[in-house]
Structure 1
Amino acid sequence: MSATPIIFDRALLRRRRDRAAPGLHRVAPVLEDAAERLLDRLDDTTRRFSRALDLGGRGVIAPRLRDRGIGTVVSMDLSPATAALSGGMAVAGDEEWLPFAAGSFDLVVANLSLHWVNDLPGALIQIRHALAPDGLFLASLPALGTLQSLREALAASEAELRGGVSPRVSPFPEVSDGAALLQRAGFALPVADAEVMHLSYRTPLALLRDLQAAGESNAVAARDIRPPPRALLPAALARLTGEDGTVAATLRLLTLTGWAPSPDQPKAARPGSATARLADALGAAEQGTGEVTPFRRRH
C-alpha cells in the first residue's frame, strides 16, 4: 500500500488549536450557525440516538446533542484544550486514528473538523467502523470556493512580489466528490449537498484575526516557512477591501450524510422489477421518447 500523502502539518494544527481554545468565543456566532445548520438534519429522521460522538465540535456540538436528549455524548478533538470545551466526556485524539471499538456509537457528528485530515477516505472508513448498524454520520466541512477571494488576493500579491506562489489557504474538497467519498467508505444511502454562508467584516484584518481565533491559520505542509514579504499582507488586504471598506468572505459548506449499513435499511429495487407504470400512478398520459421505431417495409 502506498503511504498517505502528507498534506497538512497535524502537529502544528494541534498546537494552534491549543492556543486558540481560550479565544474560540470570538468566533462563536459562525461556529454556532454552522452547528445549527448541520444538526437540523437530525429533524429529518425519526431515528432516536443514545450514544453520540462529537468530532471536533469546539464546544458547540456536544451541548446541543445533550439538549436533544442524547444520554451519552463523547467529544474528541486533536487538541486537548479544545476537546475540554465541550464538557462531559472528552478525549484528545486524532481523527486519522480513532480510538473507539466497532459499533461504539449510533451517531457521529463532525462539524467543520475533517478538512484538516490527510487521509479523508481512511478517516471516513474508521467513522463508519465506529458506528453501530443503522447508525448515522453527519458532517460539514468547507468546500472548494471557501475563502476564494482571500486565496486569490494572496496569490496575486505574492506573485507580484516574489514571482511565485506558496499555498497560504487550505485546499478544500469538491462538492461533487462528497457522495463518492461516502460510498467509498462503505456508507449506505449517501447524500452530499452544499450551502453558502456569507460573512462580512469591517476590515480585512478582522477576517484574519477570526481565522487565527478559530485555529484555522495555514497548516499546509508545503507552505513557505520563510517570513513573508512585509508588503504581502498590505497588498493582499487592499485587494480584498470593497468600496465601502468592508470585506466579504464566503464559507461554502459541504454537508455529508450517510448511514452505517444494516439489513433493515431500504434498498433500491432491481431494474425492470416494477409492477406498475409511473404514468398510471401520476394519472398522466405516457409520452414517447422521440426515438425512431423500426417498421416493416410494405410490399
Structure 2
Amino acid sequence: MTPPQLVDRPALARNRRRARPDALFLHDEAVTEVQERLAAVNRQFTKPAIVTPFAEIWAGVLPDAKIVPDDEMLNLVPGAHDLVIHAMALHWANDPVGQLVQCRRALSPDGLFIGLTLGGQTLVALRAALAEAEVAQTGGLSPRVLPMGEIRDLGALLQRAGLNLPVADSFTRRVSYRDALHLMADLRAMGEANAMTERSRRFTRRRILQDAAQRYETGADGRIEAQFEVICLTGWSPHESQQKPLRPGSAVQRLEDALNAARTGATKNDS
C-alpha cells in the first residue's frame, strides 16, 4: 500500500535550494553529535554512507563516505556499507519506515545505522501560536507545521525496519529570537518552510502572522525562545554475534515472584 503523500517533494526541494548555509546550525550540530557517537563505538567503519539534503555540510566528515540525497528511493547498494547515517531529513519522509528499511538493506551484517531527525517537541510554542491566530482570524485551520514523530514511536520504527539493538534518545536545542516573525524567517532560511501537500497555496495573511507573534510568549528580555528536539536513532543490521534477547518465559525469576518478594520486604521493614 502506498503511504500517504504528506510532503510535497518538489516544494521541499525548492525550499532547500533557498536555504542559507549560515542558518543550518542544526545540521552542524548533527555532525558533532554523530562524531561523538562514533568516537564511543569501538569500531572502525571503512564503507560509510550518508543520507542528507545538504551534502556540503557532510563533505569530508567521514573519509570516502558515499553521500546521497534523501530521495524516496535512496541511491544505496544493498549490503555495501558498514555504516549508514540518515542526517536530519527523516521528518520530511513520506514513508519513514521505508527510509529505514532501505538503510538497513544497505548495511552489511553487523553494520551500524545512525539517524537524526526533528522530533515532536519541536516548535511547540510556534505551532500553538499559529493555530490560535488562524482560528481567531479566519475561523478555520490549515496545515502549517509538519507533524513530527515522538521518540517512542520513532524508536519502534527501528524494530519494524529490522534493525537490532535499537536505541532512541534525544537532545533539545533552545534558540532565542527577536520575535516570532524572525523565527519564521529563520525557518525559511533553514529550508524548513511549509512543504506539506495539503498546505494553503495562498500567502498567509499578515494579520495572522502578527496575531501569532503577539500570542507567542516572550521572556523577561522581550525575546522569544524556540525549541528544537533532535531525536537520535541507532540500530544494527542483524548478525549472529549480537546479543540475543531472552525468549518469552526464559527469565530466571517470574515477575509475580519478584513482586511478592518486594511486598514481603516492605512488610518486614515497616514492622
Q: TM-score under structure 1 normalisation?
A: 0.80
Superposition deviation, residue 250 in structure 1: 0.3
The number of aligned residues is 257
Secondary structure of the 1:164 match is coil
Q: State the distance in 1 between where 2:40 and 2:244 align.
A: 19
Task: Give the number of the structure whose alpha-carbon radius of gyration is greater.
Answer: 1
Tell me which residue corresponds to 2:60.
63
**CA displacement at 1:253 relative to structure 2:** 1.3
Q: Give the match for residue 74 of structure 1.
A: 66
2:232 is matched with: 255
Q: CA deviation at 1:214?
A: 1.2
Q: Which moved further from structure 2: 179-188 or 232-241?
A: 232-241
225-234 vs 140-149, which moves further? 225-234
| Other structure's SS at 2:263 match | coil
Question: Which letter does structure 1 place at the counterpart of 2:105?
Answer: H
Q: Distance in 1 between matches of 2:178 and 2:137?
A: 26
Contact 1:161 1:229 (C-alpha < 8 Å) held by counterparts:
no
Distance in structure 2 (CA, Å) of the matches to 1:210 and 1:228: 17
Letter in 2 for 1:64: V
Aligned residues: CA RMSD: 2.1
Tell me the distance in 2 between the aligned counterparts of 1:215 and 1:226: 19
Which residue does 2:203 correspond to in 1?
A: 227
1:151 match: 127
More off after superposition, 258-267 vs 54-63 = 54-63
Aligned-pair identity (%): 39
Output the amino acid matched with 2:83: L
Letter in 2 for 1:138: I
Sort the Cα spacing of 1:274 and 1:146 in 2 relative to 1 into closer, same or farther, 3 A.
closer
Question: 1:13 matched to which residue of 2?
Answer: 12
Q: Secondary structure at the match of 1:53?
A: strand
Are 2:96 and 1:120 aligned? Answer: yes
8 Å CA contact retained: 1:192, 1:256 = yes
Unaligned runs of 5+ in 1: 67-71, 79-93, 278-286, 292-299
Alignment gaps of 5+ in structure 2: 254-259, 265-271
String of CA shifts for 1:47-75, please: whole Å, max 9, x gaps. Answer: 11011111116233342223xxxxx2111
Instruction: State the secondary structure of the residue aligned to 2:42.
Output: coil
Which residue, 5, 28, 33 being the options, matches 1:32? 28
CA contact (8 A) 2:48 2:65 kept: yes
Aligned residue type for 2:226? A
1:223 CA drift (Å): 0.9
Give the aligned residue type for 1:39.
Answer: Q
CA offsets, 1:119-173, max 9 Å, x none?
Answer: 1111111110111111111011111110011111110000011001111111100
Which residue of 1 is the match for residue 174 of structure 2? 198
